Amino acid sequence: MSKENLLPAHVSLIMDGNGRWAKERGKERVYGHFEGVNSVRACVEAAIEAGVKYLSLFAFSEENWSRPDDEVSTLMGLMVKAMANEMDSLDRNGVRFVVLGNRDRLDAGLNDEIERCMERTKGNEVLTLVIFLSYSGKWDILQAAKKMARDMLAHPEDIADVGPDDFARYLVTDGIPDPDLIVRTSGESRLSNYLLWQGAYSELLFVDKLWPDFRKEDFRKALESYAKRDRRYGKVK
């Protein structure tokens, strides 16, 4: 990798292990989610300090809707609370706040609050913080395919010319570069239906620490690990 590419432009974190973290302490799973917010704050700070331009977080998957109602509502409530608590500081630090996912499934109050925060911070340029909420990779690809199909109905002669970049413009991540590095905490080595299209050539890092234990130093170590990778994109060097 050339020297200027040693720093990933986009780091994505699959924040996993909150429930186990709480269980280890004899507490309810939600206690781990609360503590996980402190890890989010730490990683945002670490990303800004390192000069990373895009930080994305997998906060809630489409499949997570199948969890017990009280856990789902606690997580949604936590999202509202975290936005209320953190937005001044994020805005002050030049963070552009973006939420991507199946927003139709979120309740109206949460959607309004998300809209307000996105509008307020849209001009910020230090870091783009993307929260994937009610997101899954297959959902994203399918909604993109449906939207594109609708557009193509009027121009069937153009279908043969559609390339990957044309298709990617229909994904919810349009305008956000693909993640250079995807880190998953908690020791699980899977993507759990995360950025299936966008992660095609992402470097993957699986770390054993549970999300509430993942802090600045761990983020910095992930950047160091990335700097040693050799990204070939299928080519011979």
- Which residue ranges make up the site for ligand IPE (CB under 6 A)? 14-20, 58-61, 64, 75, 186, 188, 190, 192, 211
Edge-to-edge strands, sheet with 54-61: 95-100, 127-135, 54-61, 10-14, 181-184, 203-206
Question: How far apart (Å, rounded) are the C-alpha atoms in residues 174 and 203?
Answer: 20
Phi, then psi, of 222 in degrees rounded to 5: -65, -40
CA-closest candidate to residue 60, choices 214, 169, 198, 192 = 192
Which CB, 67 or 221, lies closer to Mg ion? 67
CB of 35 to ligand IPE, least distance (A): 11
Question: How far apart (Å, rounded) are the C-alpha atoms in residues 116 and 118?
Answer: 6
* 136 binding partner (options ligand IPE, Mg ion, none; Cβ < 5 to 8 Å by kind): none
Query: What tokens were used for 90?
Result: 């994020």
Question: How far apart (Å, rounded) are the C-alpha atoms in residues 201 and 55?
Answer: 17
* 216 binding partner (options ligand IPE, Mg ion, none; Cβ < 5 to 8 Å by kind): none
Residues 88, 48, 209, 61, CA torsion sign:
positive
Question: How far apart (Å, rounded) are the C-alpha atoms in residues 94 and 44?
Answer: 11
Q: Which residue is nearest to Mg ion (CB)?
A: 16
Which residue of the set 5, 18, 64, 165 is catalytic? 64
* 18 binding partner (options ligand IPE, Mg ion, none; Cβ < 5 to 8 Å by kind): ligand IPE
Q: Which residue is nearest to ligand IPE (CB)?
A: 19
Amino acid letter, residue 125: E
Give yes or no for residue 194 binding Mg ion (CB under 5 A): no
The yes-or-no answer on residue 16 being catalytic is yes
Which CB, 15 or 195, lies closer to ligand IPE? 15
Tell me, residue by residue from 13 to 52, as one string, x for binding to Mg ion by CB under 5 A and - for no binding.
Answer: ---x------------------------------------
Which listed range, 12-20, 43-51, 76-84, 114-122, lies at the site for Mg ion (CB under 5 A)? 12-20
CB of 183 to ligand IPE, least distance (A): 11
Query: What tokens were used for 162?
Result: 């559609």
- Please state whether 176 falls in left (phi above 0), alpha (psi between -120 and 50) or beta: beta
The yes-or-no answer on residue 213 being catalytic is no
CB of 71 to ligand IPE, least distance (A): 8
Contact residues toward Mg ion (CB under 5 A) are: 16
Catalytic positions are 16, 64
